[in-house]
Amino acid sequence: MSASRARDAVAESVRRCCGVAAVALRAAVRTRMVAALLVLLAACVTGLPRVLKGDGTPSGELDILLRYTLGFSFGLLCLATLWAACALFAVEIASQRMHLAAVKPVRAAEFWLGKWLALLALGAALLTAVYGGVYAQVRVRAWRAGWSAEQRPAGRRVARPLLPSIAEEARETYALMRQRGELPPGLGPGAALRVLAEQAEERYEVLNPGDEVVWKFRLARPPRADEPLLVRLRFDTEYSTREQVAGLCRLWLADRPERVAEVALADFTLNEIVFAVDMRALVNGGAAAGRDVRLAFRHQGDPARASALMMRFRKDVAVLTPGGSFEANLARSALAQLGVLALLAALGLTLSVCFSPPVAAFCATVLLVLALVSGTVVGAVRETGEEGAWMRVGLRIARLVHDVAGQATREEPLESLTRGELIEGRALLAVWLWNGALAPVVLAVFGCGVLRRRELAAGD
Amino acid sequence: MGRCGLGGQPVIETQGLCKTFRDFWRRPTVAAVRGLDLTVTAGEVFGLLGPNGSGKSTTIKMALGLLRPTAGTIRLFGFGPTDRRAKARVGYLPEVTHLHPFLTPRETLVYYASLFGLPLGEARRRAEELLEMVDLKGAAGRPVGRFSKGMARRVGLAQALVNAPDLLVLDEPTSGLDPVGCCEVKELIRLLASSGVTVLMTSHLLADMEDVCDRVAVLARGELRASGRTAELLRQPGVTRFLVDGLGAGEAESLRAELEARAGRPVCCDVPAVRLETFFMQVVSREGSARAFEVAPFLRAARQAREESGA
């Protein structure tokens, strides 16, 4: 009996949520908000690739289509979602339409959830339209220009060199500096470790002509003879002497060091080199026994004329293995971005419960700008321990906003998509756990609390 | 007026109810309601009367949980006003019907039905019956935003009935309606009350209140000034009126003179007039503008269920 009652209660709750969501969706469609957004997005998806000029290479075209077009469309969707969410409760309360709904037996959470789901559904539909438009353009361009299999976008797994973790490296450097008495006097251990970690992440290693470096990689699965590995190297070097730079790459399996695949690199005019390694030279049919591979790079430029190469090993060196199709990666990217929209919708709704429409929109915009600016502030200002009190407070706030916003945008799906890197399922799950579940729940609890407590009617 | 109610149980009870509005700095600005004690019992039509700013709407909004009392208590069916068990039994028509302008009346009613957790099929059925009842079937596909005030009022009334409420709270229910609409609404209130629905209503139109209310309370400056059964409050003690059908002018005059001689006081004799509303309704019903009021079948079923549970 109690189980059937619980089922009925859940069914009623679902109906209430669906009712609220349906009205919010109808409002969006019938007030022509969706139509206006569709026109804007269509102009963006079709217009931007015509306006922006690439470098003529397939990767340049993909860069424009995937990074800029999708990025700009996503930015538009973010703003639209945030502002629409800011209006949903606030307008209903201000126009007294909420009176009729609030006297019905609806929980605050059901109102909140219904509206959030409506925004999510709308975001999903618009994102699908945008991604569909971009995908069609990628297919048409690939077909027209006859891109090769390697040039076509894909979703490849990325293996990075096995190096000590950033935290570990920061701790070691900290211990060394403390031993030598090189630590700035006003900087506490926490701040010092944070600064050292940031430096470690961005630190460039210098490869002079004649130098050689060997990296260890652990692939997701043993390499196969019929699947070539892609190696990607990014570097910085002096522009005027790039033509003098040359290098030799060698790749071998850790358990079979006697068989080495060599690739000579002579063209360093772009600051990124991607090349395929035929694995038939290393694997005798089927799959290799182990997952570990080694990659060596020797700078073979003329010591008298060539400049050194500068590389951030953690970011600039990668071995790419087949992971999935471009279509699946595109879908994952869309899902990751939908997660961000879910978070923005939750933020807007909660602000909408607390403030009037213009105040909610203003607060949302300020928060958004703060989130965008905080990264620049945190990146530009290095703590030395000699800052004044105000500066320290400002930095702390900027760091807090940056950390919270960083959680939301930790995964950069468009970056992965453009580089042909597989967006891992675990990363997607993490995005949704934070953006689609944890943060919205926290915001919803706060918003529902306010909605329950605030007086919806004004005095006559 | 006899009602088949829920046995006179209190439906709304207020004790020492106060509401003081405050400004941004929490300083008191207006004491809208001061120490209001009221009891509305099941099955009666209770009217709140008072001039503008007397606290009628504020009282109603506190009863519905839209405003929080500054002091005192208010109970609906024995629950607090924000309790969902109480809300499930209440229908509300606000003073101004703020509906979603882009929804059609049908969608509006289905939406409000969904807020009561009704299945979609049942919500649609009730919506159709209510549209028929408020005579909006022909305009069911047009957005409410394009409706006249009277039509929007009818939609508002229909949404207040979508859950077959036990308590109907009507804030100025006849505002914006033409005389025919007013009569229909009053007839509906009487019908609902006769089926055991408790009605709490406010109106500026005293004639409307007089027509439908069993009891009234008069508020002024947030205080209760008078309350009681309408008939008792309006009775003129010490005055007697005879109504005789078919007397000629001469006969009437001789009877008046006879009564004056017996009573030793002046006696007034006149030809009674029907009320303008009655006359108007007689005229428009001859022209076919008025229609017989049909209560929605699901409301009749609810009435039956109430009667059975009452029995």
Residue B126 lies in a domain: yes
Residue B198: domain span: 10-238+273-310
- Domain termination site, one of A291, A324, A357: A324
- Put simply, the chain A residues between 170 and 229 with a CB less than 8 A from any chain B CB are none
Are residues A133 and A212 both part of a single domain? no
Q: Establish if B253 belongs to a structural domain.
A: no
Mutate which: A12, A100, A359, vs B, most B CBs within 10 A: A100
**For chain B, what percent of residues have pLDDT higher than 90?**
56
Q: Which residues of A touch B156 (CB under 8 A)?
A: 100
B52 CA: distance to closest CA in chain A (Å):
9
Q: Does A20 touch chain B (CB under 8 A)?
A: yes
Sequence-ordered list of residues with C-beta below 8 angstroms from that of A167, at least 6 positions apart, any chain: A193, A197
Give me the pLDDT at residue B286, please.
64
Assess whether pLDDT exceeds 70 at residue A368: yes
Average pLDDT, chain B: 89
Minimum Cα–Cα distance from A22: chain B residue: B111
Chain A environment of B61 (Cβ under 8 Å): 457
Measured between beta carbons, the chain A residues lying within 8 angstroms of B90 are 103
A16, A100, A457 ranked by CB distance to B114: nearest: A16
Segment B230-245 mean pLDDT:
83
- The model's pLDDT over A56-70, given as tens digits with 9 standing for 90+, comes to 788 888 889 999 999
Q: Are residues A150 and A33 in the same domain?
A: yes
Region A89-115 average pLDDT: 95
Q: How sure is the predictor about A437, in pLDDT bands with cuts at 50, 70 and 90? A: very high
Query: The domain spanning residue B152 has which CATH number?
Result: 3.40.50.300
- Domain contains A458: no
What are the tens digits of pLDDT across the range A225-257?
Answer: 888 889 999 888 877 777 777 889 999 999 888
Residue A171 lies in a domain: no
Q: Which one-letter DSSP state was computed for residue A306?
A: P
pLDDT of residue A403: 85
Based on the structure, what is the number of domains in chain A? 2
CB contact under 8 A, B143 and A30: yes
Q: Do B61 and A107 touch (CB under 8 A)?
A: no
Element at B41 (helix H, strand E)? strand B28-41
Phi, psi of A86, rounded to the nearest 5 degrees: -60, -25
Give the residue from A415, A341, A405, A418 showing the smallest Cα distance to A128.
Answer: A341
**Helices (H) and strands (E) in chain A — how many of each?**
15, 10
Angle between helices A33-51 and A2-30 (to 10 degrees): 60
Residue A10 CA to its chain's centroid (Å): 36
Q: What percentage of chain A exceeds 70 in pLDDT?
A: 98
Sign of CA dihedral A152, A155, A159, A164: positive
Gap between the Cα atoms of A310 and A169, Å rounded? 19
DSSP state, B7? S
Mean pLDDT of B182-210: 88
**Mutation for testing the B interface, residue in A5, A15, A104, A106 having most B CBs under 10 Å:** A104
B251 within a domain of the structure (yes/no) = no
Inter-residue contact A101 to B115 (CB < 8 Å)? yes
For residue B100, what pLDDT is reported? 95
pLDDT at A406 over 80: yes
Q: Please give the Cα distance from B237 to B218 (Å, whole number).
A: 20
pLDDT of the residue at B273: 82
Judge if ipTM > 0.85. yes
Q: Model confidence over B282-295: pLDDT tens digits?
A: 887 766 655 666 78
Q: What is the pLDDT of residue B287?
A: 62
A459–B120 CB contact, under 8 Å: no
**The pLDDT value given to residue B289:** 57
In tens, the pLDDT along B19-37 reads: 999 988 989 999 999 999 9
Residue A138 shares a structural domain with residue A7: yes
Measured at the alpha carbon of residue B257, what is the angle toward residues B251 and B258, in degrees to the nearest 5?
90
Q: Do B116 and A22 touch (CB under 8 A)?
A: no
Q: B289 in a domain, yes or no? A: yes
Does the pLDDT value for residue B134 go beyond 50? yes
A309 and A281 share one domain: yes
pLDDT of B140 higher than 50 = yes
Whether the per-residue pLDDT at A387 is higher than 80: the answer is no
Inter-chain touch B116–A459, beta carbons under 8 Å: no
Residue B56 lies in a domain: yes
Q: Smallest Cβ distance to B103: which of A13, A26, A99?
A: A26
In a domain, B97, yes or no: yes
Contacts of A103 in chain B (CB under 8 A): 64-66, 87, 90, 92
Structural domain count, chain B: 1
Q: How many CB atoms lie within 10 A of CB B268?
A: 9
Q: State the pTM of this model.
A: 0.87
Whether B67 sits inside 8 A of A455 (CB atoms) is yes
| Domain ranges, residue A404 | 2-154+329-453
The count of residues in chain A is 460
**Are residues A111 and A66 part of one domain?**
yes
Is residue A450 within 8 A of residue A353, CB to CB? The reply is yes
With beta carbons less than 8 A apart as the criterion, state whether A349 and A443 touch: yes
Chain A residues closer than 8 Å to B115 by CB = 16, 19-20, 101, 104-106
pLDDT at residue A362 tops 60: yes
- Same structural domain for residues A380 and A255? no
Q: How far apart are CA B172 and CA B157, in angstroms?
A: 11
- pLDDT score of A105: 96
CA angle A296, A299, A302 (to 5 degrees): 160
Q: Are residues A260 and A372 located together in one domain of the fold?
A: no
Min Cα–Cα distance to chain B from A107, Å: 8
Residue after which a domain boundary falls, among A290, A324, A358: A324
Q: A324, A358, A388 — which closes off a domain?
A: A324
Cβ count near A74 (within 10 Å):
24
Higher pLDDT, A12 or A145: A12
A421 with A307, same domain: the answer is: no
Do A92 and A132 share a domain, yes or no?
Answer: yes
DSSP 3-state assignment of B139?
helix
